[in-house]
């Protein structure tokens, strides 16, 4: 049975509160008291919410994020920022764009881990903006601007050592 997205979220909450209760049982009485006082009613509420979410939708199968998206799109059209045809194309691709942005975020985190902040941020900016088909001039100046801002603001002024990434650690011969 395919669930609507919001039902998945309620299911997630059931698992969350259930795990909390099971986990809390391992601790002594004092440590488990308040987690149970909070967790048990929340579990009950999560279950009832899940049941509510399973019931038939009055509007035809519109998911939470699509509803949100529709609202934004309507405003943009109303302001004549994008045209009607563009909207048709865009509404159908919501799921695809959701996964794309999640991919990009995870990609940035992976870059951060390997290359550290100073390299990953300009790198990501360039790749992302080119993916969005922005002109090279804009892309490079944004990347440069960000790099300068970050470098000056944090590393120099605040004297904070930013995460250097595995590669730099390797290059500098540090553990």
Partner 1 sequence: MRTKKGFCFAIIVALFLSLVTTLNAANPDFDYYKGKTITYIVATKPGGGYDVYGRLISKYLQKYIPGSLVIVKNVAGAGHIIGANETYMAKPDGRTIGTYNTGLIYAQLVGLQGIRFDLAKYRYIGKANSEHRVLLVSINSPYKSIKDLIESKEPIKMASSGVGTAAYNETIIVAAGLGANLKPIPGYSGREGEMGMMRGEVTGTIGSYAGLIGFIKAKECRILLQIANRKHKDMPDVPLAKELNLSDKGRKFMAIVAGNGDLGRLTAAPPNTQPGRLEALREAYKKALNDPALLKDAEKMMVDIDPAFGDEVEEMMKEVMHQPEENVTMLRSVIKVEQ
Partner 2 sequence: MFEALIHGLYLALSWKAFSLMMLTIPIGLTLGILPGVGGKVGLAILIPFCYGMPPEVGFAFLLGMHAVVHTGSPIPAILFNTPDGPAAATCVDGYPMAQKGEAGRAMGAALAASGVGGVVGAICMALTIPVVKPVVLAFGPPEFFTMTLVGLTFVAVMASESLIKGLMAGGMGMIISFVGMDPQTGVVRFAFNQLYLFDGINIVNVVIGIFAIAEVIDLGIQEAGAIAHTRPEDVKGAGVWQGIKDTFIHWKLTVRASVIGSIIGMVPGLGGDAASWICYGHAVQSSKTPERFGKGAVEGVLAPEAANNSKEGGGLIPTLAFGIPAGSGMAVLLGAFMVLGLVPGQEMLTKHLDVVFSMVWVLAFANVIGVLISLAFVGQLAKISFIKTSIIIPLILSFALLGSYLATSNFGDIFVTLAMGGVGYGMKAFKFPRGSFVLGMVLGKLSENYLHLSMNLYGTKFLLRPITLLLIAIVITSIVYQIIRKRKMVTR
Contacts of partner 1 in 28-47 (CB under 8 A): 28, 31
CB 32, min distance to partner 2, A: 8
Residue 112 binds: one of partner 1, partner 2, none (C-beta under 5 to 8 A by kind): partner 2
Q: In this structure, what are the phi and psi dihedrals at residue 82, rounded to the nearest 5 degrees?
A: -130, 160
Interface residues for partner 2 in 33-52 (CB under 8 A)?
A: 34-35, 38-39, 41-42, 45-46, 48-49
Closer CB to partner 2, residue 42 or residue 54?
Answer: 42
Number of helices (H) and strands (E) in the chain: give both, helices first. 8, 0
| Whether the Cβ atoms of residue 124 and residue 143 lie closer than 8 Å to each other | no
The token duo for 98 is 């959701």
> For partner 2, which is the closer residue by CB, 86 or 136?
86
SS3 of 1-55: the string is CCCCHHHHHHHHHHHHHHHHHHHHCCCCHHHHHHHHHHHHHHHHHHHHHHHHHHC
Question: Of partner 2, partner 1, none, which one sits near residue 90, judging by CB under 5 to 8 A according to partner kind?
Answer: partner 2
Among 54-62, 117-125, 167-175, which window interacts with partner 2 (CB under 8 A)?
Answer: 117-125
- How many angstroms separate the CA atoms of 120 and 127, rounded? 10
- Nearest to partner 1 of 34, 62 (CB atom): 34
Stretch that binds partner 1, among 50-58, 91-99, 130-138, 152-160 (CB under 8 A): 152-160
Which class for 58: exposed (0-12), middle (13-18), buried (19 or more C-beta within 10 A)?
Answer: exposed
For partner 1, the binding residue among 161, 165, 168, 170 (CB under 8 A) is 161
94 lies in the site for partner 2, by CB under 8 A = yes
């Amino acid at each position: 049975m395919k669930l609507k997205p919001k039902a998945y979220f309620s299911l997630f909450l059931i698992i969350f509160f259930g795990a909390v209760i099971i986990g809390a049982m391992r601790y002594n009485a004092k440590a488990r008291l308040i987690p149970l006082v909070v967790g048990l009613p929340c579990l009950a509420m999560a279950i009832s919410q899940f049941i509510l979410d399973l019931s038939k939708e009055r509007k035809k199968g519109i998911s939470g994020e699509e509803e949100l998206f529709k609202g934004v799109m309507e405003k943009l059209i109303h302001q004549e920022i994008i045209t009607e045809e563009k909207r048709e194309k865009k509404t159908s691709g919501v799921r695809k764009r959701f996964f794309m942005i999640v991919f990009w975020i995870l990609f940035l985190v992976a870059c951060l881990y390997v290359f550290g902040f100073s390299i990953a941020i300009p790198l990501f900016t360039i790749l992302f903006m080119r993916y969005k088909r922005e002109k090279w001039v804009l892309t490079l100046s944004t990347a440069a601007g960000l790099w300068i801002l970050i470098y000056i603001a944090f590393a120099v002024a605040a004297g904070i050592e930013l995460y250097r990434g595995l590669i730099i650690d390797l290059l500098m011969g540090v553990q």
